[in-house]
Structure 1
Amino acid sequence: MRRRTLLLGVAATFAATGCSSANGSTSTPVGGTAVPGGPDPVVRWVLTGGGLAAGQIALRPPRLAVYGNGEVIADAAYRSDLPAEDIAELIAQLSENLRGPAATKRRDDLPVIASASTTEFSVRSAHGTYNARAEALDELRQQEGYPTALYDARDRIGAVHQQVVASGQPYTARRVRLVIQVGPAQTDEILPWPATIELPAGAAQDEVRLADLDGQHARNVVRTVSRDLDLNGTWKAYRTASGMPLRASWRYLLPDE
């Protein structure tokens, strides 16, 4: 089966399920001649907000990043490769979906959902870059809160994401992001903070601290700190030698981060 056939089949499955959207949206074509290639993704899907804990927000990776060299990374945890023609087709389809400010116009009669995430898409092509932003896109799908074209874009990107997670390889990198959230956790299972890992710098009142690490520092984190691979907020609890309680997790950084 050709990879494109698989992508289209997954897209059809996504279209049959359902998503939503809410308050506030933008679709911005940016001038220039950006082409597939270079260090930045040609397709990027990011979620922001959504009522998560501050530490989860600091750690949250892009849902999907597609690079001009064919590498595709989902959730900073899985990777795969797409042929150049499939990437070109994806860019063309998404550019058409996101073209013009009407692409993300939300229905005025729908409520704001404060706990919903904001969906952000970015697509680079030879004709420019399209950035789209829509609050509560998934939550308002049943009410047709946004135009069909925006949901088509969501389905196309979601299909690629699903394919990479289902059949891709584990993604690793030499650099990691370590995030700690200071404060006690409601658990009796508290581990000693690893002596080989320096705490991220921060003021005493900072609830969340992060550090981007490479080399031996990154390897120490990978070996000794638990990872919230499913991004569901299940962080291990630790206590430093000085008695400070904290929770921690980490993820691999993407090539452009």
Structure 2
Amino acid sequence: MRLRMILLMAVTALTAACGGVEPDTSAAAADDGPAKPVALWGAEGGFVTATMNVLRPPRVVVYGDGLVIVDASKQMTLTDAETGEVVARMEKYLGGQPPTAKPKPGAPSVTDVPDTVLGVRGKDGKMLEVRVPALEQLAAFYPKQLVDAKKLMEGLATRAAAEGADYAATRVRVVAEGVESAEGKPSPWPKGVPEPSGVVDPVWQKDVEGAAVSAITKAVPAGRKYDRSLFRTSSGTIFTLSWRYLLPHEQSSASPMPGRKG
């Protein structure tokens, strides 16, 4: 229900900003259910490790109930009015943009950097996403609206870092990556954490809950998630282990967030 209200508020705010008439509220209805992102900022691709490519969360996700999660590690809650304003501004910035933006002629060639992904859930309930190659490096060659959308999300990230609390979830995504040569002494495989099975090419991943969450978060402290944490399986194979907490929309309905209903 709150997601529907946020979308209604976003439509009202956007219409007022544009000097329009009262919106048709029936068009803003969205299905209630599990937590849904209403705005996001993330990255895709680029020259990163296979582990980071699998684990990399969105930089910022805003949910319909006002929850904001940054880097799957910090969280804060916006008011309904603040959430509606964020959605309205993102709709304004991203409306009319192509699925993949292209820089203006004359832009220099930039390789091996991630594409910026900006998204907003429209009044029809569908998520609109725009991918912007090398936005940070080529900001002057893209429409100002895309730069402004990224700045809006950056502001939320900065605020969450200063005011927010640590984020945790009941489920974790575990990633194991094989190593050809090990520098340092591998630790025994964490008890309770599933060992890789089948072909690991280039990584193995599994979402876990319960005792496995406590085991992996204890074995690989949060500050070392992307370091070379070496572990040896019962068969003697050595892997690096990494993990991150799953986000609300990645969680199963049977595994609600701590302190949150449904």
TM range (shorter): 0.7 to 0.9
1:132 aligns with 2:130: yes
CA distance in 2, matches of 1:96, 1:36: 22
CA distance in 2, matches of 1:184, 1:226: 24
1:45 match: secondary structure = strand
1:85 aligns with 2:81: yes
1:214 is displaced (CA, Å) by: 1.4
1:211 match: secondary structure = strand
In structure 2, the residue matched to 1:19 is none
In structure 2, the residue matched to 1:198 is 194
1:106 aligns with 2:99: no
Q: One-letter code of the match for 2:152? A: R
In structure 2, the residue matched to 1:220 is 215
CA distance in 1, matches of 2:181, 2:160: 33
1:42 match: secondary structure = strand
CA distance in 1, matches of 2:159, 2:41: 15
In structure 1, the residue matched to 2:62 is 66
1:197 is displaced (CA, Å) by: 1.6
CA distance in 2, matches of 1:242, 1:157: 45
1:135 is displaced (CA, Å) by: 0.8
Contact 2:102 2:133 in 1 (8 A): no
CA distance in 2, matches of 1:189, 1:140: 43
1:76 aligns with 2:72: yes
In structure 2, the residue matched to 1:153 is 149
1:256 match: secondary structure = helix
In structure 2, the residue matched to 1:21 is none
Q: Aligned residues: percent identity?
A: 32
CA distance 1:220–1:155, shift in 2 (3 Å) = same
Root mean square deviation, CA, Å: 2.3
Q: One-letter code of the match for 2:53? A: I
Q: 2:120 aligns with which of 112, 117, 123?
A: 123
In structure 1, the residue matched to 2:233 is 240
TM-score, length basis structure 1: 0.78
Q: One-letter code of the match for 1:90? A: V
1:242 is displaced (CA, Å) by: 2.1
2:211 match: secondary structure = helix
Q: One-letter code of the match for 1:224? A: A
CA distance in 1, matches of 2:29, 2:196: 36
Moved over 4 A (4+): 32-38
Unpaired segments of 5 or more residues in structure 2? 1-26, 251-262
Alignment: residue pair count: 221
1:177 is displaced (CA, Å) by: 0.2
CA distance in 2, matches of 1:253, 1:127: 26
1:176 match: secondary structure = strand
In structure 2, the residue matched to 1:27 is none
Q: 2:165 aligns with which of 161, 166, 169?
A: 169
1:154 match: secondary structure = helix
In structure 2, the residue matched to 1:209 is 204
Q: Which one has more relative contact order, counting CA pairs under 8 Å at least 6 apart?
A: 1
CA distance in 1, matches of 2:55, 2:207: 11
CA distance in 2, matches of 1:241, 1:102: 50
Instruction: Specify the structure having the higher radius of gyration (Cα).
Output: 2
1:201 is displaced (CA, Å) by: 3.2
CA distance in 1, matches of 2:133, 2:248: 27
CA distance in 1, matches of 2:31, 2:134: 29
1:168 is displaced (CA, Å) by: 0.6
